[in-house]
Structure 1
Amino acid sequence: MLETIGKRTLTVQALTPESFAPFGWMLGRAYPAEKSASAFTNPATDFWHQHAFQTGAQDGAEILWVNYRNTDGFVTSLEKHLLTEQVITPLTGSIIQVMAGSHADGSVDLSTAAAFCIPPGQGICMRPHAWHATRSLAPEVTCLMLTRGSTTLDLISHLHGAAAAQESAIVDIPRHELAMDGVAA
């Protein structure tokens, strides 16, 4: 993660629970080493708690299938969702997730910008108000997304030009280049 005067480069880093903590939660953590009430294992299956997802409303969560095709090595805009957490889990290839926090007034804080490589088998859950952009490391990467249904409808309406977004915000930022040294697709 770096932002220096006159230079806007984000070094893509490996996803870890600690490195992603300012923006949300890493998913795909290993089976817990210590016994847990929310974990089960036997020769046929393992399952264990990763995160309690919060939509911020009673209307519940929505599962989306998302195809990412933007392979640009730079970022010029970020979006955030105001009411809900959002999960992204790559299924068919790796993605780069660019993240940034917010200032007290809600504007993007580029001094916190970071970029993460997320391979299949891992995922992220972003907090509300976490600024983000996604890039694909292949011509197309399919991801599972968990979000709030009204946020999806609101964003689609905005992207079609029918109405201003109420549950999300999209802003232009100065061009940031992604340094992907050692990042494998």
Structure 2
Amino acid sequence: MTSNTQLEIHDLSPDAFNAYGWMLGKPMPDGNGVPLFTNPATDFWHEHLFNTGAGGDAELLWVNYRSQSIEVASLEKHLLTQQAIVPLTGSIIQIVARSAADGSPDLSTLAAFHVAQGQGVCMRPGCWHATRVAGDEVTCMMLTRRSTTVDLIQHLTTDANATESAITAIPAHQLEVPQDLLQSA
């Protein structure tokens, strides 16, 4: 399936990503009820309360992303859990879409975001997504639900149906990768 449908890559901001989840790595807040601590040696603050869904155990994964393909022809989603991705060794391009009423990707909401090294995103359950890199392999920290990882691996390596995730083909879209993103990769 090929298409001339172009997909612009947007800068990540809390407002721009809100329909899909939460931006991570925002500057330290002024307070206003947000738990935080600061002194000359360190700062820490509440960024997001991660939700694995009922009865789920959280797990941290190390994920190496290598796909430089500008074509986006499939998406996946996780039904029960949020999923957070924080690029550690470079930037990523996170493609996202909301679910339509029937659970399929709502392609009218398809968007792509540049997630800089040290920033991150936490996607809502049911958020369709794919990840790309503009250059070399990027290692990311992922926070997800343990049973979702096991279910997805079993689906990808055997004929078993996934019960906590879904993967579907979409009409191909082409990422419009800005020159400055290619040069910084």
TM-score (norm. length: structure 1): 0.93
Inter-partner Cα distance in structure 2 for 1:34 and 1:84: 28
Report the identity percentage.
58
Deviation at 1:87, TM superposition (A): 0.2
Inter-partner Cα distance in structure 2 for 1:47 and 1:97: 26
Deviation at 1:39, TM superposition (A): 0.5
Inter-partner Cα distance in structure 2 for 1:117 and 1:7: 21
The yes-or-no answer on 1:72 pairing with 2:69 is yes
**Counterpart selection for 2:56 from 33, 55, 59:** 59
Inter-partner Cα distance in structure 1 for 2:10 and 2:149: 29
Inter-partner Cα distance in structure 2 for 1:63 and 1:56: 16
Q: For 1:59, give the aligned amino acid.
A: G
TM-score (norm. length: structure 2): 0.93
**Counterpart selection for 1:130 from 127, 130, 136:** 127
Matched residue SS, 2:121: strand
- 1:101-135 deviations in Å (ceiling 9; x for gaps): 11111111000000000011100000000000000
Q: Which has the higher strand share?
A: 1
Q: What does residue range 55-134 of structure 1 map to in structure 2 within 5 Å? A: 55-134=52-131
Inter-partner Cα distance in structure 1 for 2:97 and 2:135: 23
Q: What does residue range 132-151 of structure 1 map to in structure 2 within 5 Å? A: 132-151=129-148
CA contact (8 A) 2:86 2:119 kept: yes
Inter-partner Cα distance in structure 2 for 1:113 and 1:120: 22
Off by >6 Å, runs of 4+ in structure 1: none
1:32 equivalent in structure 2: 29
Provide closer, same or farther for how the CA distance between residues 37 and 107 of structure 1 changes in structure 2, counting only shifts above 3 A: closer
Q: What RMSD in Å do the two structures reach over aligned CA positions? A: 1.2
Note the residue ranges of structure 2 that are not aligned, 5 or more in a row.
none
**Counterpart selection for 2:8 from 8, 11, 18:** 11
Q: For 1:85, give the aligned amino acid.
A: Q
Deviation at 1:7, TM superposition (A): 4.2
Matched residue SS, 1:169: strand
Q: Which has the higher helix share?
A: 2
Deviation at 1:85, TM superposition (A): 0.1
Note the residue ranges of structure 1 that are not aligned, 5 or more in a row.
1-5
CA contact (8 A) 1:93 1:137 kept: no
Provide closer, same or farther for how the CA distance between residues 37 and 69 of structure 1 changes in structure 2, counting only shifts above 3 A: closer
Inter-partner Cα distance in structure 1 for 2:101 and 2:113: 24
